[in-house]
Amino acid sequence: MSTGERRVCLLTGASGTLGDAFCRAYYRDYDIVAVCRTHTPAAPSQLEWYVDPLAPDAAVPENDSRIFVVRSDLTQPGEVERVVDLALARFGHVDLLVNNAAHIRLHPRGIVDGDAALADFDPHFALNVGVPLRFSARLAQRCWLHAGPENRARNRNIVNVSSISGSEVYPGQTLYSASKAALNQLTRNIAAEFAEFGVRANAIAPNSFPTLVPTEQVARAIVELDASDGTGAVYGVGVELNQVDEADGLSLRLADADP
């Protein structure tokens, strides 16, 4: 079970660029269920323990980490449910779900260059849309649906990691962009549906990181959204004004200050 007042965060894509940065920056603030497929995040977890060679019996602060690493291919049947079960068994509840895992494969010659794009449709939508949908539904069914007062008291919420590609057109990104646009709309609908039992849902749509926006700034946007009271919006991170589509709901209100 969770100890103290730290919030419990279930984070997918924990070994990727953003997931790893989030774990390293916030493992002292959150109890984190770090879901990864291959590599593990470079932060203290149940997989790593530290001993001070000069005082081998002394407590080392890093060993207080509550990062709980779970390896999973989330696109396989039953894996989302297994991760949810492990998270609830380990910490008892989930306050923040961060759907960060994503699939991207570019098709620089377009979708008509052979059948590669057609073959990549399912991988993009299964991980970028299907997995966030399944995690949201399973967490609601197993611990949020009948806990409205507790949900509101703990300000429980979902942050989906989208992309500026979900509202802009970039060469070679047709499938990735379409999947992120679908994730944006999934976020808005989940927010409307989950409001009944007090769980919020938002998305961040960062510009390319770490090339155009520091990864730490994107990670900080997740924490800012977790601490906010907003729901049903998609927030740009590191997005220029001429890239903002107000009709699509993008906003510059969060995490656009210099790091």
176 belongs to the catalytic site: yes
Separation of alpha carbons 114 and 119, rounded Å: 10
Spatial CA neighbour of 216 closest among 44, 69, 23, 34: 23
Q: Exposed/middle/buried for 56, CB within 10 Å: 0-12, 13-18, 19+?
A: exposed
Residues sharing a CB contact under 8 Å with residue 217, sequence separation 6 or more, in sequence order: 209, 237, 238, 255, 259
Identify whether the C-beta of residue 185 lies closer than 8 Å to the C-beta of residue 160. Answer: no
DSSP state of 6: P
Q: Could you tell me the two tokens for 5?
A: 């007042």
Separation of alpha carbons 91 and 70, rounded Å: 13
Q: What sections of the chain are H helices per DSSP? A: 17-26, 79-91, 116-119, 121-125, 131-139, 148-153, 174-194, 215-227
Catalytic residue among 26, 27, 30, 176: 176
Separation of alpha carbons 158 and 135, rounded Å: 10
Identify whether the C-beta of residue 22 lies closer than 8 Å to the C-beta of residue 98. Answer: yes
- What residues act catalytically? 176
